[in-house]
Amino acid sequence: ISFSKKTTKYDVYVASTVSNLTIKAKPEDEDYTVTIDLLLN
């Protein structure tokens, strides 16, 4: 996925057979905080 700092929400759909998903986010500035909220259905 190509990320944009102007986008605040992304929806990602994966197959039900996926057992592991890694999400990494590095803030543009070290004083910023990155928060990742997961909703698993």
Q: In the 8-state DSSP scheme, what is residue 27?
A: -
In the three-class reduction of DSSP (H, G, I as helix; E, B as strand; rest coil), residue 14 is classed as coil
- The pTM assigned to this predicted structure is 0.50
pLDDT per residue over 1-41, tens digit each?
A: 778 888 888 888 899 899 888 888 888 899 998 888 887 76
| Burial per residue of 2-20, b for 16 or more beta-carbon CB atoms within 10 angstroms, e otherwise | eeeeeeeeeeeeeeeeeee
Show me where the domains of the chain are located.
1-41
Q: For residue 24, which phi and psi values (nearest 5 degrees)?
A: -125, 140
**No. of helices (H) and no. of strands (E), the chain:** 0, 0
Q: What tokens appear for 25 in the block? A: 């986010």
